[in-house]
């Protein structure tokens, strides 16, 4: 597996544009290789600018949405109408603005009991990719965020998902948030063709510094190509 490569941008707008270019590039590579594209979306605020850009006329026309499948790396245990839902933020800024078939949008059903939602989502991914019980996916593109505590996906430090990162999808209780999350594991994304961390803001600087040294759950992420796209505020320690 390749190591991480850090690329620093002047601001979040330049970061989002580079990520959008990478999204299109990954789409065309996957389409040429196998005829369809599978991207794993991230929650949080940082990718919103990216989603709006991909949905804009400048970028949306470069993607055949009928050949694109969208998944989520993690979800809060809320309904899809809830303001905290990762699905809702992506739906409002991207999915509702492009012509993607409904059956190509594979959301985590956060309204279900956590373990049921995790089991169901794992089965959906296996069915989509034709995986056996112990098979691991090779996603074309995985978008990840970075928390100030070093978490990515919903793999928080000192939780079950960080202590035992095996499998495909799991329910993970986060004591400091007093809430459950449903998350892909670090192992599930470890064979991705391309992995993009989107990191913006000075509050992420310490976590980014640690992650680049291999610390925190985020520092354990592997993939064929792992790129860390950061703005100057997040990468101010360099």
Q: Which two tokens stand for residue 121?
A: 């989502």
Burial level of 188, CB count in 10 A (0-12/13-18/19+)? Answer: buried
Name the band, by pLDDT with cuts 50, 70 and 90, for residue 1.
very low
Query: What is the pLDDT, as a whole number, of residue 237?
Result: 81
Report percent pLDDT > 90 for the chain.
Answer: 92
In a domain, 10, yes or no: yes
Q: Which two tokens stand for residue 235?
A: 């990468």
Q: What CATH number corresponds to the domain at position 198?
A: 3.40.50.1360
DSSP 8-state code for residue 132: -
The yes-or-no verdict on residue 218 having pLDDT over 70 is yes
In a domain, 18, yes or no: yes
d(CA 192, CA 206): 26
Query: 171-217 pLDDT, tens per residue?
Result: 999 999 999 999 999 999 999 999 999 999 999 999 999 999 999 99
DSSP 8-state code for residue 217: G
Range of the domain at 171: 4-231
Query: 108-167 pLDDT, tens per residue?
Result: 999 999 999 999 999 999 999 999 988 999 999 999 999 999 999 999 999 999 887 678
DSSP 8-state code for residue 46: T
d(CA 160, CA 90): 27
The yes-or-no verdict on residue 100 having pLDDT over 90 is yes
> In 91-193, at which residue ranges do the beta strands (DSSP E only) sit?
141-144, 169-174, 179-184
In a domain, 177, yes or no: yes
Q: Which two tokens stand for residue 158?
A: 């000192």
In a domain, 236, yes or no: no
d(CA 84, CA 75): 9
In a domain, 39, yes or no: yes
Name the band, by pLDDT with cuts 50, 70 and 90, for residue 2.
low
In a domain, 237, yes or no: no
Report percent pLDDT > 70 for the chain.
Answer: 98
In the chain, how many domains are there? 1
The phi, psi pair for 24, rounded to 5°, reads -65, -40
The yes-or-no verdict on residue 41 having pLDDT over 90 is yes
d(CA 59, CA 52): 10
Burial level of 133, CB count in 10 A (0-12/13-18/19+)? Answer: exposed
Q: Measuring CA to CA, how many Å separate 54 from each of 21, 33, 59, 95, 230?
A: 9, 22, 5, 10, 19
Query: What is the pLDDT, as a whole number, of residue 119?
Result: 96
In a domain, 210, yes or no: yes
Query: What average pLDDT score do residues 54-78 get?
Result: 98
Which range, of 25-29, 69-73, 101-105, 162-166, averages the lowest pLDDT? Answer: 162-166
In a domain, 211, yes or no: yes
d(CA 88, CA 95): 9
The yes-or-no verdict on residue 64 having pLDDT over 90 is yes
Query: What average pLDDT score do residues 93-99 get?
Result: 98
């Amino acid at each position: 597996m390749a190591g991480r490569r850090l690329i620093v941008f002047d601001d979040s707008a330049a970061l989002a544009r580079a990520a959008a270019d990478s999204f299109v590039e990954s789409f065309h590579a996957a389409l040429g290789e196998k005829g369809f594209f599978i991207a794993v979306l991230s929650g949080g605020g940082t990718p919103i600018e990216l989603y709006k850009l991909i949905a804009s006329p400048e970028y949306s026309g470069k993607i055949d949405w009928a050949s694109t499948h969208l998944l989520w790396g993690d979800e809060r245990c809320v309904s899809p109408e809830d303001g905290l839902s990762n699905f809702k933020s992506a739906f409002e800024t991207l999915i509702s603005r492009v012509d993607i078939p409904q059956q190509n949008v594979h959301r985590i059903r956060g309204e279900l009991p956590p373990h049921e939602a995790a089991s169901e989502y794992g089965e959906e991914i296996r069915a989509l990719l034709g995986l056996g019980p112990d098979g691991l996916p090779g996603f074309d593109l995985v978008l990840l965020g970075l928390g100030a505590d070093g978490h990515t996906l919903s793999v928080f430090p000192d939780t079950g998902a960080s202590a035992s990162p095996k499998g495909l999808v799991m329910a993970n209780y986060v004591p400091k948030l007093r809430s459950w999350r449903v998350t892909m594991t670090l192992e599930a994304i470890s064979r991705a063709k391309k992995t993009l961390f989107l990191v913006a803001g000075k509050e992420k600087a310490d976590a980014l510094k640690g992650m680049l040294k291999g610390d925190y759950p985020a520092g354990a992420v592997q993939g064929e190509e792992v790129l860390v796209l950061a703005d100057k505020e997040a990468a101010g320690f360099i």
